[in-house]
Structure 1
Amino acid sequence: MRITILGSAAGGGFPQWNCNCRNCAGQRDGSLRAKARTQSSIFVSGSTSADGVLFNASPDILEQIRSHPALQPGRAVRDTAIAGVVLMDGQIDHATGLFMLRERGRPLPLWCTDPVEEDLSTGNPVLKVLGHYCGVDRHRIALDGAAFEVPGAADLSFRAVPLSSKAAPYSPHREAPVPGDNIGMLISDRRSGRSAFYAPGLGEITPALFDLMCGADAVLVDGTFWTDDEMIRLGLSKKTARDIGHLPQSGAGGMIEWLDKLPASTRRLLIHINNTNPILDEDSPERALLTQHRIEPCEDRMTLDL
């Protein structure tokens, strides 16, 4: 199984277009050693096929496809290696890239939960708009742990788990979350027996969820914020990381503490990194601390072969 990191940043990317925080300003003027990143998305293919599954369609999807020739294999006049799209939530930075796939000559195979399908048909009616173009062949993601497959993505199987996080701001249940607003995914290669757990939006880790993570060969989890009050201290928000559905890396009960408990052989990666997070600065003490804990911040164009 190969996992390609198409984008590793949170909404807005890095540097964010209108932000002049230390990270964004430093990346622009070259005073900070930090790599630019597009908004988070991954592409997963099995061990015997180049075709695979796109997880989340960010607003940067066209740039990401251009940067990864494997997604455009050129086997026909119009072609793609994307056998299907799986949405982890209905957030703008994970769903509006679907508009950019509208030229597909037949309905777009799409897997999402019922709450996400509802939000993308009402509050942000992406799916209705696509009905005027390629159309959508929507498949329901069950939350009972049942495995499912995506036709064309050979060898891969998927199992979703509901997460504690937040629905998109336009959702009617933004402040009253329901199961399926946000999911994690166990991705398995049936031939190799290897697996990865993917959760770009994760507000809380329960014992059952941690057991699932322990069984994976790699985990790619929420790397949005370093501290719970990161946005408050910068004067950019009145809400904490946990208020908006993200478990910070540092502090008691934070992501680092949880990742330290995983088996020694588990590869630990952070994805969906906000532009304010000090780990983007490759010379920062926060980045050095991650290295000490054997935790890797994802970068665009990174690949994992499991």
Structure 2
Amino acid sequence: MKLKILGSAAGGGFPQWNCNCPNCDGIRRGTIKAQARTQSSLAISVNGDDWLLINASPDILAQIRNNPSLQPARTVRDTGIAAVLVTDAQIDHVTGLLMLRERSTPLPLYTTESVFRDLSTGFPITSILSHYCGVEHRAIPLDGSAMQIDILPGVSITAIPLRSKAPPYSPNRQAPTQGDNIGLFIKNTQSDASVFYAPGLGQPEPHVIAAMNRASTVLVDGTLWHDDEMIQLGLSAKTSQDMGHLALHGAGGMIDVLNGLDTRSPPTRKVLVHINNTNPVLREDSVERASLVANGIEVATDGMTFEL
């Protein structure tokens, strides 16, 4: 099973187009040691030609250009993206669906029922695509049963409901329902290697910790360093929790969660994804990055690949 991180940044990417925070200004000027990143997305394949896209970011066209394996060029019109699964209905995870409209057949789209409602009403992407390639909806079960996807033989995918935030345009924004946001437990049934993937995680509930403990690799939300990071920088009045993300630093933060995982042999690989442009861990020589290294935690980059 091949797993490729197409985009490792949070919504807006890094640098964000309209942001002049120290990170964004510094990378534009070349005064900080950091790498640019596109918005959060992942791709999985077994044969290297047919890929399941997990979350379709607004940067999908650039991500396809940067990852030639997603364009195998077997015919005049071709794509390696055989199906798409989205973990929520947030703009940075679904807008890229519009860029896939030139398909000649309906796009297989895996979502929970609540996410599909949001994509049919508050942000009616499915209605728009009905005038182009169309969508073939496939519901993601939330009962703990594993899905088998035909393009990924030998791979099982189980949805892990998360407590986070539905998009602002969702009727569930202030009244969350199960399925608004999910993590994924992805397992190679032949090698027994597994991945827990959750780019949006607000609260580490017991069933979430249990899934993380079972995984050999954890790709998890690293959006903000401080809960009030955006407030400190004068960029927002919202905390990390307000936005549905667990901050990295502080008591009970993501670093503590990752450090609390059961000891495995070999040890669990811990990688942060969905990094906001303001997060100091983007600076490769920062104190915060050094703290992650000391705790055995990596920061994802675009193009990072895993063989499981």
Asked if TM exceeds 0.5, the reply is: yes
Q: Which runs of 5+ in 1 are unaligned?
A: none
Tell me the residue number matched to 2:140.
141
Q: 1-side partners of 2:151 and 2:19: how far apart?
A: 40
Whether the aligned pair in 1 keeps the contact of 2:48 and 2:69 (CA below 8 Å) is no
Q: In the aligned structure 1, how far is the partner of 2:134 from the partner of 2:149?
A: 18
Counterpart AA for 1:147: A
Matched, 1:63 2:62: yes
> 1:64 is paired with a residue of what secondary structure?
helix
Aligned-pair CA distance for 1:295: 0.5
Deviation at 1:49, TM superposition (A): 5.0
Could you tell me which residue of structure 2 aligns to residue 273 of structure 1? 275
Residue 190 of structure 2 aligns with an amino acid whose one-letter code is: R
Instruction: Note the alpha carbon deviations across 1:204-253, whole angstroms, 9 max, x for none.
Output: 11122111111111010101000100011111111110111000000000
Q: How does 1:147-162 map to 2 (within 5 A)?
A: 147-162=146-161
State the Cα deviation string for residues 286-305 of structure 1 (Å, max 9, x = none). 00000000101110011111
Cα distance in 1 for partners of 2:181, 2:39 equals: 17
RMSD, aligned CA: 1.0
Give the gaps of 5 or more residues in structure 2. Answer: none
- Alpha-carbon contact 2:2-2:48 (below 8 Å) kept: no
CA contact (8 A) 1:6 1:43 kept: yes
Q: Which residue of structure 1 aligns with residue 10 of structure 2? A: 10
2:208 matched to which residue of 1?
209
- Equivalent-residue separation in structure 2 for 1:197 and 1:245 (angstroms): 18
1:227–1:241 CA contact under 8 A, matched in 2: yes
In structure 2, what is the equivalent of residue 247 of structure 1? 246
Structure 1 match to 2:92: 93
Name the amino acid aligned to 1:270. L
In the alignment, does 2:107 pair up with 1:108? yes
What fraction of aligned residue pairs are identical, expressed as a percent? Answer: 58
Aligned twin of 2:26:
26
Q: Does structure 2 conserve the Cα–Cα contact (< 8 Å) formed by 1:144 and 1:161?
A: no
- State the TM-score, normalizing by the size of structure 2: 0.97
Alpha-carbon distance in 2 for matches of 1:32, 1:75: 42
Q: Which residue of 2 aligns with 1:219?
A: 218
> Structure 1 stretches (4+) deviating beyond 6 angstroms?
none
Native 8 Å contact 1:84 1:150 kept in 2: no
Give me the TM-score of the superposition, normalised by structure 1.
0.98
* C-alpha distance in 2 between matches for 1:152 and 1:173: 32
Q: Which residue type is aligned with residue 291 of structure 1?
A: V
Stretch of structure 1 that moved more, 142-151 or 111-120: 142-151
